[in-house]
Amino acid sequence: RVGPESAGSDPGPACYGLGNTRPTVTDANVVLGRINAERPIGGKLDRLDTAAAEAAILQHVGAPLGLDLTDAAAAIIRVANGLMAGAIRLVSIERGHDPRKFIAMAFGGGGALHAGALMREVGLAKALVPRYPGVISALGCAIADVRHDSVATVNRTLDEIDMADFHARMAALAGETAALVGQNAERSFEADMSYQGQSHTVAVALGRDLTIEMAHLRAAFEKRYLAVYGRLLDGIAIRLLNLRVTAVARRKAFDLAVLAPPTDASLEKARIGTRQVWSEDGWYETAIFDRLALPAGAVVPGPAILEQADGTVFIDSGLVGEVDDFGNLVMARQAEAGNRP
C-alpha cells in the first residue's frame, strides 16, 4: 500500500535526511536511479541521502515481503502507478471516455517520472510535459484571467419569486464581484435549478442582463433540462436554488514563445552523460540530458532521463520524447512518434 498519508516537504522523504525513516515514492525513484541524488530539484539540498532511502525501503518493504532492494523499490513504484491509473480510469473509462483519445499532462516535480507507466497502464495516447512542470500551477496563476464567483441562495419555486427582488439580488451580486475584479470585467449569470422534489440540479445560463424576465427564466431552464435529460416534467413546479454571477477580468495574452528553447540549443550540448536506471524489466545504461538545453524538434528515445531544476522526466523503454516549438515535451510510443497533439 502506498499512501494516503504523505511525508510532505517536512520531514520529507527519507532521502532528505530530515528525520523521516519511512519510505516514500521519491525514495523508490532515487534507489532506482530515476532521480539524481547529486542534483536534487529545488536547490535547497546539496544532495540526497541514498543510503537512508535504501535503509527505509529495506526495513519497511523489503524485509516484511522478502524482497531485495530493487524489487522492493520497484514494488513501491508499481503500487503508486496503479493508484494513479485507477484515478485516471475513474474520470475517463468509468464516465464513458476512451483514454486512447486523450493526452495526459504530467506536472509537478515528479509527475513526469510516472507518465510513461500511466500511458501503458491506462492506454493513454500521449503525455505532455510542460516546459516547467514543477511550477506550472504557479505560472498558470500568474498569467490566467482573474475570475470571481458570487453565489446567493434563493430556494424558491418560480411562482414564489418576486422579480423585483430577484433583480435586486442580481445587481447586488454584480456589484460584489465588480468591487473585487473591476468594473470592466465580463459578467455572466447562472442559476442552479430543478423540478420540485429533485435532489439534483442543472446549471442554467442566464446571460448578462440584470433584468431577465420570468418567461426567459422558465424557458432557459426547460431548454437546459431537455438537453440534459431528454424530456420535461409537466405539472411539476420549477425551483431555483442558487443564483450565481461570474466576473472575469481578461489579462493580456501570455506569449508562450518566451519559454521556447534557445536557438543555439543542440542535442549534443544537452547530453550530460549516462547512468544505470531501472526500467520495467531491468537495469539499463540510460542517457541523461539537461532538458532545458534540448532544442525544438529534438527527439529522445527511451530509456532516457531529462533533468531540470523543477522536475525530472523519465522516458520509458519503448517511448520517445519530442520537444515542441515552445519547449514542451510530447511523449509517445515509438511507433506513433512524430504526430504532435
Specify whether 277 is located in the same domain as 304.
yes
Q: Could you report the per-residue pLDDT of 253-279, keeping only the tens digit for each? A: 899 899 999 999 999 999 999 999 999
Per residue in 319-330, pLDDT (tens digit) is: 999 999 999 999
Provide the CATH number for the domain around residue 200: 3.30.1490
Domain span including residue 195: 146-249
At residue 4, what is the residue type? P
**Domain identity same for 231 and 284:** no
Q: Please give the tally of structural domains in the chain.
A: 3
Answer whether residue 119 is part of any domain.
yes
Q: In what order do the strands lie in the sheet with 146-157?
A: 146-157, 238-249, 186-195, 202-207
Residues pairing with 308 in the sheet:
311
130 with 273, same domain: the answer is: yes
Q: Give residue 198's pLDDT.
A: 94
As to burial, measured by CB atoms within 10 angstroms (0-12 exposed, 13-18 middle, 19+ buried), residue 69 is middle
The tally of CA atoms less than 13 A away on the side-chain side of residue 162 is 4
Rg of the chain over CA atoms, in angstroms?
A: 26
According to DSSP, the residues that pair with 192 across neighbouring strands are 203, 242
Cell 547529486 appears where? 38
Instruction: Please tell me whether residues 221 and 151 are part of one structural domain.
Output: yes
Same domain, 150 and 216: yes
Chain centroid to CA 138: how far? 12
| Residue 240 included in any domain | yes
Do 163 and 83 have their domain in common? no
Last residue of a domain, one of 201, 229, 249: 249
Let me know whether 169 and 215 are in one domain: yes
**Alpha-helical segments (H) within the chain:** 25-31, 50-57, 63-65, 69-91, 115-122, 136-143, 163-181, 214-229, 267-270
**Which among 194, 222, 249 is the end of a domain?**
249
Low-confidence residues of the chain: pLDDT under 70: 1-10, 336-341
Which residue is associated with the grid cell 493513454? 124
Last residue of a domain, one of 91, 125, 154: 91
Phi/psi at 101 (nearest 5 deg)?
A: -95, 5
Instruction: Say how many CA atoms lie within 13 Å of 117 toward its Cβ.
Output: 22
**Is there a domain that residue 296 lies in?**
yes
Asked, for residue 181, whether it belongs to a domain, the answer is yes
Query: 98 in a domain, yes or no?
Result: no
Same domain for 234 and 168: yes
Q: How many H-runs (helices) and E-runs (strands) does the chain carry?
A: 9, 13
Decide if 54 contacts 69 (C-beta within 8 A): yes
Does 245 share its domain with 153? yes
Are 244 and 107 within one domain? Answer: no
Beta bridge partners of 330: 128, 322
Does residue 225 share a domain with residue 295? Answer: no
Q: CA 112, CA 303: separation in Å to the nearest integer?
A: 13
Q: Decide if 124 contacts 114 (C-beta within 8 A).
A: no
